[in-house]
Amino acid sequence: MQISANAKGGVCVNDEFDAVFVGAGHNALAAAVHMAARGWKVGVFEQAEAPGGAVKSGEYTLPGFRHDWGAMNLSLFAGSAFFKQHGEELVASGLEFVPVDRPFASTFPDGRWCGVTMDAEATAERIASFSKQDAERWKALSAEFGKDAPHILRLLGSSMKIHSIAYFLYKLFVERGAAGMLQMVRFLLASPRAYLSENFESPEIRAMLAAWGMHLDFAPDVAGGAVFPYLEGMAGQAFGMALGKGGADTIINAMVATIRAKGGVVESNAPVARILTEGGRASGIELADGRKISASKAVVAGVAPSALERLTGGTEPTFDAAMEKFVHAPGTMMIHLALSDLPGWAAGEELKSFAYVHVAPSLDQMARTYQQAQAGLLPDEPILVVGQPTVFDPSRAPNGQHVLWVQVRMAPGDIRGDAKGEIEARDWAGAAEPFAERALDILERYAPGTRKKILGRRVVTPADLERDNPNLVGGDQVCGSHHMSQHFLFRPARGHADGSTPTQNLHLTGAAVWPGAGTGAGSGFLLARKLAGK
């Protein structure tokens, strides 16, 4: 391949690639790594200044303080089939994880807290302080996790075809009989509230686990949402959590280095103007600067579904309509803080030792917050996910100081009002500061004195997230609702859960494609294996 520098500092490609990628999110990069390992020539073209999409890190507040822009938790990546196959090379390219043995906790208004650690007995004791019955149920679920998890993970990691579901049900039937199979199906269809209320009597234990549903868009009463709180709770105790050394972008940097080492191209500041077609098949891309890049085998678009028609000019009417109607989840506000010290949690000093502290006091509050955001209202009491990465990775801040990663969930992309009746602004330019102050007021209530420790801060609104990455429509960090009507066989649309499109050689990847959001690189790896072989 002949590559030379152009006047803009990019690359001029003088022959064709086997595959070109629109966007350099982690799914696209994972696909490119696998294809390159199978001998394909790959080119990845990203509109932003740096690859990674929502998985990037930087000094967003003060020099020396490194923050994760979006994703912080890399457990799904560390445990993925992609990392199992390519991890050795990625580690050689600089990837480094930081193990976390105290993954998450929740703090409650009455001054108590509960958390999950890799010390199973200590976790059970904390749960028993709320309910001895719940502690026994937790132990029973933990004992069964080794038998239940493989079935669930096999489903979540499989290519989403009718035969995949049939095989999943068949395996369950053979191993557990009809009753066991139906029980698993019932669990997969359950809402977080239904599942947690059935298994735990303490409102606080239910809330501690249900908070994980809010990382996606599984509010307590959304069908199909039980699996995420279950998996995060059980896996948190069994395996802990993985953070990226120095920032979540360690996985991005390692994948980019691996692609380039295999002769591939990853170019930033290279927005794609359109996808080229010839004879009914995708043949390449045209960049905004006029360069045309050809692809002999595949064009892979790592974009939100609604952006595809703009790039293609249209494929097939039914498919185009489905992409246009793709439903996004509520948005998120990020607050990045540089701190002189960790928050002083009122519930107890031990909360300083956890990677995540959820401020999500009850199922009812989570449900109300979600409904308010869905209605376009700024929630009166948003849910806070407070990340404390420097507890485990002090390299992210100057000696003795800390970064705080505050995810404010939920927040409407388009503001129609304020549920509390205090904020008059109807755009994020005007609502950003007062809504951030509302979130910080909540943090201050649970961790008094935090404001005095702030050395620098950066507020990132849903509008800011979308401007930085057009895939995060309305600040939706999971690139599309995961409700049952848009999940499994229907993500992003029926018949296209494998990322296929009506145009030959044109494929979708990213969180909008099955298996959806998270850092597991599932859609990218599944697509690459389908196209380039295992």
139-148, 153-162, 202-211, 486-495: segment of lowest average pLDDT? 153-162
Whether residue 266 is predicted with pLDDT greater than 60 in this model: the reply is yes
The pLDDT of 270-295, averaged and rounded, is 97
Residue 6: its pLDDT value, please? 39
* Contact in structure between 157 and 521 (CB atoms under 8 Å): no
Give the separation between CA 351 and CA 46, rounded to whole angstroms: 39
CB of 505 closer than 8 Å to CB of 522: no
Taking residues 446-468, what's their average pLDDT? 98
pLDDT at res. 5: 38
Q: Evaluate if residue 232 carries a pLDDT over 80.
A: yes
Tell me the pLDDT tens digit for each residue of 185-216.
999 999 999 999 999 999 999 999 999 999 99
Question: What are the residue ranges of helices labelled H in 266-343?
Answer: 308-312, 317-324
Rounded (10°) angle between helices 363-374 and 192-199 = 180
Asked which of 2-16, 188-202, 360-374, 406-420 is least confident by mean pLDDT, the reply is 2-16
- Rounded CA-CA distance 334/409 in Å is 9
- The conformation of residue 500, written as its DSSP 8-state character, comes to B
Write a three-state SS string for 430-495. Answer: HHHHHHHHHHHHHHHHHCCCCHHHEEEEEEECHHHHHHHCCCCHHHCCCCCCCCHHHCHHHCCCCC
Indicate whether 498 pLDDT > 50: yes
β partners of residue 98 = 243
> SS3 for 20?
strand
- Judged against a pLDDT cut of 90, whether residue 3 lies above it is answered with no
- 3-state class of 265 per DSSP? strand
Strand partners, 500: 507
Residue 392: name the closest of 73, 10, 7, 31 by CA.
73
Which residue has tokens 């690189």? 521
Is it true that 3-94+247-325+481-532 and 330-468 share their CATH fold?
A: no
Mean pLDDT taken over the chain: 95
For the structural domain made of 330-468, what CATH number should be given? 3.90.660
pLDDT at residue 10, rounded to an integer: 47
* Secondary structure class of 378 (helix, strand, coil): strand
Tokens coding 273: 């103007």
Give φ, ψ of 213 to 5 degrees: -65, -30
State the pTM of this model: 0.95
* CA 375/CA 415 separation, integer angstroms: 9
| Cis status of the peptide bond prior to 410, with omega within 30 of 0 | yes
What does residue 442 show for φ and ψ, rounded to 5 degrees? -65, -45
**Per-residue pLDDT at 15:** 61
Domain residue spans in the chain?
Answer: 3-94+247-325+481-532, 104-239, 330-468
Per-residue pLDDT at 453 exceeds 80: yes
CB burial of residue 498 (10 Å; 0-12, 13-18, 19+): middle
With cut-offs at 50, 70 and 90, classify the pLDDT of residue 4.
Answer: very low
Residue-by-residue DSSP string for 211-254: GGGGGTT--TT-TT-SHHHHHHHHHHHHH-EEEETTSTTHHHHH
The pLDDT of residue 2 is 39
Residue recorded with tokens 């993985």: 242
Superfamily of domain 3-94+247-325+481-532 in the CATH hierarchy:
FAD/NAD(P)-binding domain (3.50.50.60)
* The token pair that represents 207 in the structure block: 């809330």
DSSP annotation of 328:
P
pLDDT bin (cut points 50, 70, 90) of residue 408 is very high
Nearest to 402 by CA among 394, 410, 414, 412: 394
DSSP letters, 365-377, are: HHHHHHHHHHTTE
Q: Could you give the 3-state DSSP secondary structure of residue 276?
A: strand
